[in-house]
Amino acid sequence: MAEKLVFRNIESLSVREFLESFHISNKMLYKLKNSKAVSVNSETIDFNYLLKSNDCLTIEINNFEKKLTNPYDRPLDIIFEDEDILLVRKPPGILVHPDGNDNHTLDNIVSYHYLKQGIRRTVRHCHRLDVDTGGLILYAKHFLASAHLNYQIEKNLLKKRYYALVLGKMENTFGTINLCIGKNRHENNRYLVSKSGKSACTKYRVLKSNECHSLLEVEIFTGRRHQIRVHLKHIGHPIVGDSYYGKKGDRFFLEAFYLSFLHPRNKKQLEFQLPLPDDFKI
């Protein structure tokens, strides 16, 4: 059965301009044209055709959804879903995507969710979280949505914020950590502040504190591996339960609670926010 994307109410754009508005590559644009996957009012049409308000543009996407992920049946905490995107809450302790050893990941669960809906789609997470970090993860349900969301990430238009519970009372109520991060050559899969590393910027605001702990709202402006963990450790306030950069505990206290971005179809701003988990409260 052919799977299709359907778009209506498009005005004053050619077919080419409409497809380019998703920031797809020239290679993908050529592939769409060459495969005759795009039609308007059920007819294959030149990409220079100027769309009218009552036109119906359809894209057959079967040839673009071939990379399937093994399904895994487990409950999925869905925050929002429509025909283009899926937003879920990842529980702590689960990988986002298979690593060659574990096929019981969030991607596998999303794959099962798609199959239950009767759709066979490539599972496309737009960003990742460390295995012990919980919170919001955004999925693109087709290649056009993926291209547009990846463009937003590249241009820093997709905004993420985190709750972090750290050790110690912070001296400043807010601050910016603008220090480069590189690999730790002496410890596998560890990172540290390094002048020879890649630029990294983290902002924080103290929401509440006592003599033992501080609850922070954290926003990152770069996507370096372990960025929040490394920066907070460097200023002397490691995240509670961080076995890599602090002291292992029963719970790792970092949660991606906020996400804002433009919807890939209608380009409207969307914002989502999770409540503070009960065990973060001090």
The residues assigned a catalytic role are 130
Distance CA 25, CA 43 (A): 24
Angle at alpha carbon of residue 118, lines to 112 and 120, rounded to 5°:
70
Q: Give DSSP secondary structure letters for 12-35.
A: S-BHHHHHHTTT--HHHHHHHHHT
User: Residues 251, 241: contact at Cβ < 8 Å?
Assistant: yes
Q: How far apart (Å, rounded) are the C-alpha atoms in residues 253 and 133?
A: 8
The rounded distance, in Å, linking the Cα atoms of 24 and 16 is 11
Q: CA 61 to CA 83: how far, in whole Å?
A: 13
How open is the CA angle 231-235-241, to the nearest 5 degrees?
70
- Angle value at C-alpha 157, between 12 and 8, nearest 5 degrees: 30
Q: If you search the block for the tokens 């890939």, which residue do you land on?
A: 264
